[in-house]
């Protein structure tokens, strides 16, 4: 009988969008069994949340420290924990479970402060347990195929990268209505961290560009704006970037782009070709090569690498999307934890603590740059 990893969760109770996503995606490939949780920092809400999803109340805990202690004692205790809280509550629970030898799958960004990020990175380096981040867009099969094509030299020497992530859901002051929990914490510096839109969706954009190209960001010149009056964090940003190997680019990030839903686009330009991908139609990418007709890259037979095709669950022509990409991160993490044969390959592509620390430096460099008249700010100055 196939072994399922025993999974616990911190956060993700009533009213938390991302908790339900994590639970659903962890189950998709039948590699996890959800058995324990501290679903809310409020005891009554934690119990109500456990009842709502059918979690055994004897394994619904009042706080993450109690959960880590009690689960570590059990012969059937959790082997993996998902942390799906607001950003300021990522580091301490992750450290608690890592110190108990329990693997951690954490929502992004890694933490809310550089101090916490550095502290967590140190613990990860000392722990025998794995730490993964759910930068879930890297789980799309077409994205992984694009990574392979770029690594294989199909575009030639890379020159320019462009990322655009536009949403409109924070176009008014949703955080003041009392009805939108997501807006409340994502615009609160005490819970979200030093950045708003840049930390929330800018982090995805920068990570995906680095994932695809295999190059690293070196410096930024950022202009962060807050268009909604009274909001405490940025809701829009324009960012120039410089990467390793003299790659230049720019990012356009907004959560106040009226009428936009989840308009996330990436373009990579090389001396011999280019690749374009749009998250709202994620099963396709366009490969443009000098001297050839444009080619559509799909989840079907046009993919060159068996590993990319292996990430699909249903036949070509049946759309896969956000949930399946999210599930791929969980599935790959399970294979690493269970020491499957492709462990080393997966460790090379799964978002990890080094990625998390680097993206935290990106976020803070953007804030520092914007505060200093958009001066170029090197990530090496962020400690």
DSSP annotation of 63: S
The reply to whether omega before 112 is within 30° of 0 (cis) is no
Rg over CA atoms, the chain? 20
For residues 161 and 15, membership in a common domain is answered with no
For residues 120 and 219, membership in a common domain is answered with no
> pLDDT (tens digit, 9 = 90+) per residue, 41-56?
888 899 999 999 999 9
For residues 154 and 36, membership in a common domain is answered with no
Tokens 């991908």, located at residue: 277
For residues 147 and 200, membership in a common domain is answered with yes
> pLDDT (tens digit, 9 = 90+) per residue, 148-160?
999 999 999 999 9
> pLDDT (tens digit, 9 = 90+) per residue, 211-225?
999 999 999 999 999
- For position 21, what pLDDT does the model report? 95
The parent domain of residue 200 ranges over: 141-314+352-371
Is the C-alpha dihedral spanning 283, 287, 293, 297 positive or negative? negative
- For position 305, what pLDDT does the model report? 53
- Which CATH number do you get for residue 267? 3.30.360.10
For residues 109 and 148, membership in a common domain is answered with no
φ, ψ of residue 25 to 5 degrees: the values are -70, -30
DSSP codes joined into one string, 337-368? HTT-TTHHHHHHHS--HHHHHHHHHHHHHHHH
pTM to 2 decimals?
Answer: 0.95
Q: What ranges make up the beta strands (E) of 30-189? A: 32-38, 80-83, 103-106, 131-133, 158-166
The residue among 81, 106, 133 that closes a domain is: 133
The reply to whether omega before 109 is within 30° of 0 (cis) is yes
The residue among 101, 133, 165 that closes a domain is: 133
- Which CATH number do you get for residue 129? 3.40.50.720
Q: With residue 263 as reference, give the H or E element that holds it.
A: strand 263-270
Predicted confidence band at 307 (pLDDT cuts at 50, 70, 90)? low
The residue among 133, 154, 187 that closes a domain is: 133
φ, ψ of residue 258 to 5 degrees: the values are -50, 130
Residues whose CB falls within 8 Å of the CB of residue 310, separated by 6 or more in sequence, listed in order = none
Residue 98 lies in a domain: yes
For residues 146 and 265, membership in a common domain is answered with yes
The answer, yes or no, to whether residue 301 has pLDDT greater than 70, is no
> pLDDT (tens digit, 9 = 90+) per residue, 155-184?
999 999 999 999 999 999 999 999 999 999
Domain count, the chain: 2
SS3 assignment, position 233 = coil
């Amino acid at each position: 009988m196939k072994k399922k990893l025993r999974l616990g969760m911190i956060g993700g109770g009533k009213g938390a969008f991302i908790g339900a996503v994590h639970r659903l995606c962890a189950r998709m490939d039948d590699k996890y069994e959800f058995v324990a949780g501290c679903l809310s920092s409020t005891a009554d809400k934690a119990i109500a949340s456990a009842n709502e999803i059918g979690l055994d109340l004897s394994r619904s805990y009042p706080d993450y420290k109690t959960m880590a202690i009690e689960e570590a004692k059990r012969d059937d205790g959790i082997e993996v924990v998902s942390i799906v809280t607001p950003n300021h509550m990522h580091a301490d629970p992750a450290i608690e479970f890592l110190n108990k030898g329990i693997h951690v799958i954490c929502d992004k960004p890694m933490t809310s402060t550089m101090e916490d990020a550095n502290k967590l990175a140190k613990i990860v380096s000392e722990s025998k347990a794995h730490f993964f981040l759910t930068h879930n867009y890297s789980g799309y099969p077409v994205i992984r195929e694009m990574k392979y094509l770029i690594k294989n030299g199909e575009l030639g020497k890379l020159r320019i990268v462009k990322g655009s992530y536009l949403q409109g859901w924070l176009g008014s002051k949703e955080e003041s209505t009392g009805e939108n929990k997501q807006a409340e914490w994502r615009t609160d510096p005490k819970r979200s961290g030093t950045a708003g839109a840049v930390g929330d969706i800018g982090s995805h954009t920068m990570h995906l560009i680095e994932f695809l190209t295999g190059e690293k960001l070196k410096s930024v010149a950022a202009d962060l704006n807050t268009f909604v009056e009274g909001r405490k964090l940025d809701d829009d940003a324009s960012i120039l970037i410089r990467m390793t190997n003299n790659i230049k680019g720019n990012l356009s990030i907004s959560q106040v782009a009226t009428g936009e839903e989840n308009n996330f686009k990436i373009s990579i330009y090389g001396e011999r070709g280019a690749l374009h991908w749009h998250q709202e139609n994620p099963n396709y990418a366009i490969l443009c090569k000098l001297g050839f007709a444009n080619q559509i890259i799909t989840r079907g037979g046009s993919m060159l690498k068996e590993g990319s095709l292996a990430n699909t669950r249903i036949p070509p022509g049946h759309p896969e999307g956000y949930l399946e990409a999210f599930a791929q991160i969980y599935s790959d993490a399970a294979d690493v934890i269970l020491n499957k044969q492709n462990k080393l390959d997966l460790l090379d592509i799964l978002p990890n603590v080094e990625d998390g620390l680097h993206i935290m430096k990106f976020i803070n460099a953007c804030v520092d740059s914007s505060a200093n008249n958009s001066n170029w700010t090197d990530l090496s100055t962020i400690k």
